[in-house]
């Protein structure tokens, strides 16, 4: 049996869930700065996630749902996943983000 695993945010999807959620709160730029610090190993992943999530305090469920509705797959992603399934390859989607965005 073969397995192909893919990251979701920024790989299969065109954007990252935390950025979409941040846009709903008007803090997307601040989130991007925190993400950049994590990518540069200035802070760890757990700390970056805590900082980013703290910026979402007060975000209503309706606005969160609006953000999840903005998730778009990259062009060709569905075809790749379908092709792998047709070839009998099991697929897995990995994410350090929000599962709700992947479910959509």
pLDDT in tens, 9-34: 888 998 888 888 999 999 999 998 99
Residue among 9, 29, 41, 62 flagged as catalytic: 9
Q: Domain boundaries in the chain?
A: 3-103
Which has the higher per-residue pLDDT, 103 or 69?
Answer: 69
> Is 92 in contact with 3 (CB distance < 8 Å)?
yes
| pTM score over 0.85 | no
- Residue 29 known to be catalytic: no
User: Is 7 one of the annotated active-site residues of the chain?
Assistant: yes
Q: 76-86 in b/e burial notation, b at 16+ Cβ within 10 A?
A: ebeeebeebee
CATH code 3.40.50.720 for 3-103 = no
Residue pLDDT, tens place only, 42-89: 999 899 989 999 999 999 999 999 988 888 899 999 999 999 999 999
């Amino acid at each position: 049996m073969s397995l192909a695993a893919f990251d979701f945010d920024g790989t299969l999807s065109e954007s990252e869930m935390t950025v979409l959620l941040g846009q709903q709160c008007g803090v997307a730029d601040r989130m991007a700065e925190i993400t950049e610090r994590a990518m540069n190993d200035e802070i760890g992943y757990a700390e970056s996630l805590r900082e980013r999530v703290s910026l979402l305090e007060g975000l209503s469920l309706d606005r969160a749902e609006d953000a999840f509705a903005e998730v778009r797959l990259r062009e060709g992603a569905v075809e790749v996943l379908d092709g792998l399934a047709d070839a009998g390859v099991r697929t897995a989607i990995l994410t350090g983000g929000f599962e709700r965005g992947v479910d959509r």
